[in-house]
Amino acid sequence: MAATNPADSWPTSTIIVPEGPNDDKSLVYTVTDTENQMIMIPHYTFSETLLGNVTYFYQTLAMISVILSFLLMVIVISMFFIRKEIAKRPSVRLSGWMGLTDFVLSFILFMRFNYDFMSSRNEASLKVLNWLMCAMPLTFVLLNSCIVFQLQLTVLMRKERLAQILSRGYEAFSFTFGLGLPLITFKVFPNIVWDGQQVFFLTIPNSGTHVRDFLVSDYLWEFIAMAYCVVVTVMLLFKLYPVWSRIRSNHNDLALPEGTSTDSGGTATHIGTTIEKKFGGGPYGNSSAALSNPGPYHGINDSVTHFTSVPNSAGTVGGFYSPLIKKPEISSNTNIGSGSVRGYHNQPPPTPGFGTGTGTGGGNTTNDSHLITYGSAKQRNQIRKTILRIMLYPIVLIVFRLPYDIFITAPLPYYFYHAIYVLCGIQGIFNFVVFLLNPGLDEFWALLRSKFSNRSF
C-alpha cells in the first residue's frame, strides 16, 4: 500500500503571493485554518526549473561530504586498531564522532532533494528525518564545544586532573543532549509535513507561542554553544599570543618577555606542557616510560609543542625548551642583563614541569630570564603551525553553523536560502580538512610509513 502524504489530511491552506511592486515574489505566505485560528507562515517557493538546476549542485556537495565523513571515520577506527594511544586523544576521538554526525546529516541533505522519495514518506518518517536534521547539527556543535572546553580547562584554568576525568564523558554528554533536546520540538510542533514546493519541512506552531518555540528549539542551544566557543577561542588567542610572538621572532636567541615568569607563573611553559600531556596525550604522558620512549614525532602531537620549563632559584620559569629542536646550547656563565645563567650545554633537558622550580637534569639560574638558542627557521615555523592547529577546531563550527542558524531563524532574501544549504553541504568537507591538520594524524602517518618501509617483500 502506497504511503500517503500527511498534508492531504491537513486543514485547507491558501497561498498568498505579495503583489506590491517592491515585494519579493518568491516570498509567499501560507494561511492555514487550524484549531479555529488563522496562522500566516512566510516561506519561499521554488519553481520546478530552479529546483532542477540546484538539486544536482546540492546533491553533489552533500555526496562529497558523505564520502569524506565516512573516510574520516575509517581513519579514526583504523587508529584504534593500529595505535590506540593516538585514537584515545580527545581531539581525535571527538573528530571521529563529528564525522559520524556529518555523515548522517549530509546523507539526509542528499535525500531531501529527491522529491519522489520525500513526498512519499508518512508522517512518522518525516518526524524522524526532521529530528535527525535537528539532532545531528546540535550534536556536532556540542562535540566541538567539548574540544574547546578541554582547552579551557588545560590552558586557561590549569585544571589538568579535572580535564582528564571529564574528557571520558564528552561523547556521552554530547549525544545525550544532542539527540534528546530536539525531541521537545515535537511537543511544540505537532504538525510536521514535507512541502515539496519549498523543499522543506513545514511546521505549524500554535498561535502566540513564538518566544516559547525559540526557547525550546535546538537553535537556541546552538547559539549558546557557539557563543561559548567564540569567547573561549578569543581568550585562547590572547593567552597564546605571547608565546607565538616570541617564536615568530627572526632571531635565533629567544627569551620570554620580562615579567612573563613572575606575573603568570610560567604561563608560556604551562600552555605547551599541559595541552601536550592532557589534551594531546603526547609521548611525555605522566610516566617515566613515556619520557624514555618519545615516539616518532617527539613533541608534535595534538596541539602546541611541549615546552619544558627551565626553573630558576626563585621558583619561576625564565625560558622554555621545545623537544622539536635539539638540546638548548647555553654556555656556562652567560651574562644576561645583570645576572648569569648556569647553562645546560650538551646536557639533557630538564624534566617537564609547570614552573615550580623543582626540575632536574640541569643547573639553576640566578636571574629572571635567560636566552635559549633555537634551531632553524623551519623548526620555529613548525612550532608556529602546531600552535595554530589547536585554534582550527572551532572554525568549522563558527563559519558554517553560525550563519545557518542566523539565516534560518528569519525571513531573508531568496538567495540566502541557497547560501545556507551550500554551507550545510560543505560542512563535512571542511571538517575533514581540519582533521587532516590534526597533529595526531601526522604521527599516525609517520607510524604507517615506518611500518611499511621496514617491511621486506
Q: Which helix (H) or strand (E) holds 440?
A: helix 439-453
Instruction: Give the whole-angstrom CA distance, residue 344 versus residue 359.
Output: 13
Residues 226 and 106 in one domain: yes
385: in domain: no
For the chain (length 457 residues), average pLDDT per consecutive 10?
45 43 46 45 46 71 91 92 85 90 89 75 78 88 90 84 89 91 70 59 57 65 87 83 64 38 42 45 37 36 33 32 35 39 39 35 39 50 64 75 71 65 79 84 83 67
What grid cell was written down for 307?
615546552
Residues 28 and 146 in one domain: no
Predicted TM-score (pTM) of this structure? 0.64
Q: Answer for the pair 267, 309: CB distance below 8 angstroms, yes or no.
A: no
244: in domain: no
pLDDT of residue 353: 33
383: in domain: no
Residues 158 and 119 in one domain: yes
What grid cell was written down for 291?
619520557
pLDDT of residue 344: 37
Residues 333 and 442 in one domain: no
196: in domain: yes
Domain that residue 178 falls in: 48-234+396-453
CATH code, 419: 1.20.1070.10
Residues 329 and 413 in one domain: no
379: in domain: no
H helices, E strands: number in the chain: 18, 11
Residues 276 and 291 in one domain: yes
Residues 35 and 56 in one domain: no
313: in domain: yes
240: in domain: no
Residues 20 and 65 in one domain: no
Residues 82 and 136 in one domain: yes
Instruction: Give the whole-angstrom CA distance, residue 271 versus residue 404.
Output: 33
pLDDT of residue 411: 62
What grid cell was written down for 268?
608560556
CB count within 10 Å of CB 189 equals 19
Residues 267 and 292 in one domain: yes
pLDDT of residue 103: 93
Residues 139 and 215 in one domain: yes
Residues 257 and 305 in one domain: yes
Number of domains in the chain: 3
386: in domain: no
Q: What is the maximum span of the chain, computed from C-alpha positions, in angstroms?
A: 91
